[in-house]
Amino acid sequence: MSDTSQGAAAAPGPVTVRVPAKVNVQLAVGAPRPDGFHPLANVFLAVGLYDEVTATPAPELRITCTGPGSDQVPLDRTNLAARAALALAELHGLAPGVHLHIAKDIPVAGGMAGGSADAAGALLACDTLWGTRTPYAQLLDICAELGSDVPFSLVGGAALGVGRGELLTPWQVGGEFHWVFAVADGGLSTPAVYREFDRLASGTDVPEPAASDALRTALRTGDATALAATLTNDLQPAALSLRPSLTATLTAGTEAGALAALVSGSGPTTAFLVKDAEAAGRVAESLLASGTCVAARPAVSPAPGATVVVKG
Ligand code: ATP
């Protein structure tokens, strides 16, 4: 049963949570299981591009969104942030009386887990606003129910995700890595990319996904050159098949001096690992000048997971 008075009484005022995007530094994809999900060895690295989710008490659940691509974000209960608020309210028997404002900076449908970031952000913002003090393990369980990438958005840093990608083991990162993310015109649907993966893989022997030891060492030692040599994304051929123009973006970044180039997750954002901040500026400039992307965003990793930045 819902209890609006309890929710309203606990509300201190606006709460803003900052949540990072992710890049998959390894995305090993196995053959689909009978339930349709693909087993993964998914190494997430949180990067310093952020959405902010602000929760304010309101008579009923309401979502607003601003920022690049916000016109493609649903404002109804299918929004992952709305689903997070509803799940938390249900757990505590509260009415979901909250206005969630999403200030988007993570590319929408870009393979950088923007929706997942908003879900993790909304969960933490509502938990803080409502004073529900949900144990962290329980927040992680709600995240896993909302989507495979959502738990990592809460945790941040670097982590190996197995199963559907939601069973996380934190990995150590021994230094800063510099990236440039080239934002493509329009998005790619993650389910469509997996369908294309299955089509391309049909009749072939798809190996069991396994995490790379060399990658783990490169992250632990903060060695960008070693990391560049170990970046892999099994979804890249499928993303390139659906969006052949991304090949030109990858080439432009490589020719501009990136240490490595790959599609970020299911794409169509492309990720360029570079030596340092100065190289990031140069590669970003060249990528924009090449006309193969609509924006080029330097960012540093690792980044912290969902963090309360304003508590009214
Ligand atoms: P991932 O990398 O986790 O596969 P993505 O970064 O490719 O995801 P998202 O930005 O999460 O893609 O958006 C995927 C789709 O989810 C969008 O097209 C949109 O319809 C829907 N969606 C639901 N909630 C949100 C949200 N809060 N922000 C963005 N998209 C959302």
Residue 239: per-residue pLDDT: 98
Kindly list the distances between the CA atom of residue 35 and the CA atoms of 32, 55, 150, 164, in Å, as whole numbers in the listed order. 8, 35, 20, 11
Q: At 143, give phi and psi (nearest 5°).
A: -55, -45
Q: Provide the strand spans (E) within 31-185.
A: 40-57, 62-66, 98-103, 158-162, 167-171, 177-183
Q: Whose CA is nearest to atom 16 of ligand 1?
A: 115
Residues 133-177: tens digit of each pLDDT: 999 999 999 999 999 999 999 999 999 999 888 899 999 999 999
Which residue lies with its CA nearest to atom 3 of ligand 1?
113
Peptide bond into 302 cis (omega under 30): yes
Apex CA 154: angle with CA 102 and CA 158, to 5°?
Answer: 120
Catalytic-labelled residue, pool 51, 118, 127, 149? 149
How remote is the CA of residue 113 from the centroid of ligand 1, in Å? 7
pLDDT of amino acid 36: 86
Buried b (16+ CB within 10 A) or exposed e, 46-75: bbbbbbbbbbbbeeebebebeeebeeebee
Task: Indicate the pTM of the whole model.
Answer: 0.94
Which residue has 């709305």 as its token pair?
82
Residue 1: predicted pLDDT: 33
Which residues form ligand 1's pocket by a CB distance below 6 Å? 72-74, 79-81, 102, 108-116, 118, 149, 187, 190, 265-266
Residue 39's closest CA among 245, 208, 195?
208
Residue partners of 141: CB distance under 8 A and separation at least 6 = none
pLDDT in tens, 6-55: 444 455 789 999 999 999 999 999 999 898 889 999 999 999 999 999 99
pLDDT at res. 163 = 87
pLDDT of amino acid 11: 53
311 is catalytic: no
Mean pLDDT check: name the lowest of 7-16, 83-92, 157-166, 296-305: 7-16
Span 236-253, pLDDT tens digits: 999 999 999 999 999 999
Q: What is the pLDDT of residues 180-207, one digit of tens each?
A: 999 999 999 999 999 999 999 999 999 9
Residue with tokens 């390894």: 26
Q: What pLDDT is attached to residue 256?
A: 98
Helix (H) or strand (E) holding 308: strand 307-311
**34 in Cβ contact with 6 (< 8 Å):** no
